Chains A and B, each alone.
Chain A
Amino acid sequence: MNHIRVGRWISGGALVLLAGVYVRALAFTPVERSQGLAQKIFYVHVPAAWATMLAMGLVGVASILFLMLKDDRFDRFAASSAEVGTAFSLVMLTTGPMWGKPIWGTWWTWDARLTLTLFLFFLFIGYLLLRSAVTDAGLRARYSAVLGICGLVLLPFIHLSVYFFRTLHPQPIVLKPSAPSLPGPMLVTLLCSVTVFTLLYVGFVMQRYGIAVVRDESEPHHG
């Protein structure tokens, strides 16, 4: 129960901070001249993408640890992180096309970055469906751990796809070998938003983990 309570406090605080990020992004961050106001979608799209990658990365790491140590806490954490990651990937996949339409002239294109990102979303959905479909707790944990590791392997391909393939999607402007190519106020807003999305991820996962603990205690065979 403690995880749920702490998670709620973190999530609540992060939601308040998210409102602050909205105000800063919309009212106090300069408008990019060539893209117009649509460029500000950047401050929710990129942090949502970050939280999605963080979620799947930790699903993969927890899955490896579960297979090595056979500790149910890692399986429970992976399931929690996958569910939260699904929510953030939905934010990423919703805001991306809304930015793409006015800038690229199309909602969607089947290039490497976008297609792999959509595949990641389907991996999340598949992971959750797998967990709900397999009734045996041991098998469910092992099967989903394998799928979680597949998700972890996919992440570098998504990040590097903009270098290897022709794509409409811009290359990284912060997570790259050289210094971030973003004006100061925009970079500060982005980093604030990334921090808040990370806090939201932590709060949501703690709550979801706590719910799983309570459920496992009352129904040991539930996923």
Chain B
Amino acid sequence: MVDGMPANGGYMIAAYTAAAVIVLTYAVALYRRGRRP
């Protein structure tokens, strides 16, 4: 972290986590739907 830079890394972590959760949840849901006989 450079001096004078705003400390807002928490928002970045939250956004990256949320994006991963949504994409992975949808990927798993599609995978399970595709396996259904």
Contact = CB atoms under 8 A, between A and B. Distances in A.
A98 B18 CA distance: 10
A136 B8 CA distance: 51
Contacts of B14: 98
B7 to A, nearest CB: 7
A94 B16 CA distance: 10
B15 A44 contact: yes
Interface in B1-37: 1-2, 4-9, 11-12, 14-16, 18-20, 22-24, 26-27, 30-31, 33-34
Interface size range of chain A in the complex:
35 or more
A15 B16 contact: no
Interface stretch (A31-39, A115-123, A147-155, A175-183): A31-39
Task: Kindly name the residue among B1, B9, B12, B33 whose own CB sees the greatest number of chain A CB atoms within 10 A.
Answer: B12
Contacts of A4: 34
Contacts of A102: 6, 8, 11
A8 B31 contact: yes
Contacts of B34: 4, 7-8, 207, 210-211
Interface in A187-220: 200, 204, 207-208, 210-211
B15 A11 contact: no
A208 B32 CA distance: 11
Interface of B: 1-2, 4-9, 11-12, 14-16, 18-20, 22-24, 26-27, 30-31, 33-34
Interface of A: 4, 7-8, 11, 15, 18, 22, 26, 31, 33-38, 40-41, 44-45, 48, 84, 87, 90-91, 94-95, 98-99, 101-102, 200, 204, 207-208, 210-211
